[in-house]
Amino acid sequence: MQLRNVLQRLVPRRASGARRVLPRVRILAFLALLGPGLVSAIAGDDAGGIGTYSVVGAKYGYELLWALVIVIIALAIVQEMTARLAVTTGKGLADLIREEFGVRTTAFAMLALFIANSAVTISNFVGIAAASELFGVNRYFSVPLAAIAVWYIIARGNYKVAEKIFLALSAVLVVYIFAAFLAQPDWNAVARGTFIPTIRADRDFILLVIAVIGTTISPYMQFTLSAATLDKGTKPEEYRFVVWETVIGVLLSGAFAYFIVIATGATLHVNGITQIESAEQAARALEPIAGPLAEALFGIGLLGASFLAASILPLSTTYAICEAFGWERGVNQERADAPIFYGIYTALIVIGAIVALIPGLPLFQIFVYVYLLNGILLPVLLILMLRLANKKRLMGAHVNSPFANALGWGITIVLIVLTAALVLATIFPI
């Protein structure tokens, strides 16, 4: 039964014959739909996200806050566009790409997605390794155990329970908000960094701007949101609830990112620590609130965020690729009936775990370079999404607004220009 019919039965008629939805019923209906937008946005603050934002705060203090704010607004637009495509067409993002652009374009897009998501999966198993070592657990024990646990949780269909656990662990990231205030940053400098753009021509600055965009608007988030919105069975008349949930997810994710940069800038950058080499160093950003427990608190948050993304990423990637080419998919399928689905899913986990076991990995450099790769590949997806969202044959009256087009194409063009600038800055260093 559609949600509108349920609401109409719950709410009494007015004397005039018009129906009125009580605020309480609106809230209950909204909570019933809560999930896809929130999870996909929060999952963006994974191990690589925490690491990248920490590196930004340590190296440049508050100078890149203005870019982060713009990217958060862009994330809201992209997430809303993803959900609108799913609700309006009733099809997944990979399905739409194949049907509208053909097999060759789909193959190119899926290859870009596989490369980007393989890198992010690796970064999250590296995050699990780093978090476990903060608690004295050797990575050669924790990473294989985590890989088996992730595979088993999804393959046995127990993801919903695990998702709640991982989200609860990730919620520890909220302490960054309190840590930022307790660190007593120079709020005038924070305001300047937020509202007055600072632009540098050096390679590291360009690299980190691309990485910030890549970690905030990560390609896998869009496929995750698209699939989850369809699985939820959201109807067009329920779409307003999806918009609000998407906005809330983006605001929470954005707040975590914003205050990670402030907390790190106020504790590391101001004390001359501009390079983060270890999880122990990154944990110092939480000392204003946690004191000697900072490492433990950082480890819990890093572990939860890593597990959440390590669970979502391989599954989201596998669903998207199998959906794009019409292969059997789903954890409810027997392995013999969906060998490609289980093969890709297992391969992503195995690759991520094996690379994370390589000794001497530069932890935070991996985080940054993974999302640099995401940022470089992101325009492929954004161009396809923008073209889809502007097709009247598909979207009818729900095509993109001029504002959504301006911001979407703007981010796409900026990423392409920054990538070219990064290449030139690398070849011809100033």
Instruction: Give the tens place of pLDDT for each residue, 7-27.
Output: 333 333 333 343 444 444 443
Least confident of 130-139, 227-236, 258-267, 270-279: 227-236
Q: Is 335 a member of any domain? A: yes
Q: Residue 284: its pLDDT value, please? A: 84
Q: Residue 166: its pLDDT value, please? A: 61
Q: Is 7 a member of any domain? A: no
Secondary structure letter of residue 338 according to DSSP: -
**Token couple for 415:** 């990423």
Residue 335's pLDDT band, with cuts at 50, 70 and 90, is confident
Specify the amino acid at residue 146: A
Residues in the chain, total: 430
Provide the 3-class DSSP secondary structure of residue 13: strand
Sorted by sequence, the CB contacts under 8 Å of residue 385 that are 6+ apart come out as 78, 81, 82, 85, 93, 222, 408
- Cβ-count burial of 12 within 10 angstroms (0-12 exposed, 13-18 middle, 19+ buried)? exposed
Residue 349's pLDDT band, with cuts at 50, 70 and 90, is very high
Closest of 314, 30, 293 to residue 172, by C-alpha: 293
Q: Is 312 a member of any domain? A: yes
DSSP alpha helix (H) spans, 233-293:
239-267, 279-283, 287-290
**Token couple for 393:** 């044959």
User: What are the tens digits of pLDDT across the range 300-329?
Assistant: 888 888 887 888 788 888 888 988 888 887
Direct distance between the N- and C-terminal alpha carbons of the chain, in angstroms, rounded to an integer: 64
Q: What is the mean pLDDT of residues 42-71?
A: 87
Q: Residue 24: its pLDDT value, please? A: 40
**What is the rounded CA–CA span in Å between residue 92 and residue 323?**
8
Please work out, in degrees rounded to the nearest 5, the angle formed at the alpha carbon of residue 161 by the alpha carbons of 160 and 162. 90
Q: Is 20 a member of any domain? A: no
**What is the rounded CA–CA span in Å between residue 364 and residue 275?**
9
Q: Which domain holds residue 332?
A: 32-427
Closest of 311, 301, 234 to residue 35, by C-alpha: 234
**Token couple for 101:** 């652009």
User: What are the tens digits of pLDDT across the range 360-396?
Assistant: 888 788 889 999 999 999 999 999 999 999 999 999 8
Q: Residue 9: its pLDDT value, please? A: 33
Q: Is 106 a member of any domain? A: yes
pTM, full prediction: 0.84
Provide the 3-class DSSP secondary structure of residue 19: strand
Q: What is the mean pLDDT of residues 155-166?
A: 62
Q: Residue 297: its pLDDT value, please? A: 85
Q: Please list, residue by residue across 195-217, b when 16 or more beta carbons sit within 10 angstroms of its beta carbon and e when fewer do.
A: eeeeeeeebebbbbbbbbbbbbb
Secondary structure letter of residue 399 according to DSSP: P
Secondary structure letter of residue 185 according to DSSP: -
Whole-number percent of the chain with pLDDT over 70: 84
Q: Residue 65: its pLDDT value, please? A: 96
Q: Residue 414: its pLDDT value, please? A: 93
User: What are the tens digits of pLDDT across the range 201-213?
Assistant: 888 999 999 999 9
Q: Is 18 a member of any domain? A: no
Q: Residue 170: its pLDDT value, please? A: 62
The CATH number of residue 335's host domain is 1.20.1740.10
Q: Is the pLDDT of residue 64 over 80?
A: yes
Q: Is 338 a member of any domain? A: yes
Provide the 3-class DSSP secondary structure of residue 336: coil
CB atoms within 10 A of CB 143: 22
Number of domains composing the chain? 1
Better pLDDT: 243 or 52: 52
Q: What is the mean pLDDT of residues 248-274?
A: 89
Provide the 3-class DSSP secondary structure of residue 86: helix
Backbone angles phi, psi at 19, to 5 degrees: -100, 150
Sorted by sequence, the CB contacts under 8 Å of residue 219 that are 6+ apart come out as 112, 113, 116, 117, 374, 377, 378, 381
Q: Is the pLDDT of residue 245 over 50?
A: yes
User: Average pLDDT of the chain?
Assistant: 82
Q: Is the pLDDT of residue 334 over 90?
A: no
Least confident of 48-57, 168-177, 301-310: 168-177
Q: Is 11 a member of any domain? A: no
Q: Residue 307: its pLDDT value, please? A: 83
Q: Residue 1: its pLDDT value, please? A: 38
User: What are the tens digits of pLDDT across the range 385-429?
Assistant: 999 999 999 998 889 999 999 999 999 999 999 999 988 888 877
Whole-number percent of the chain with pLDDT over 90: 40
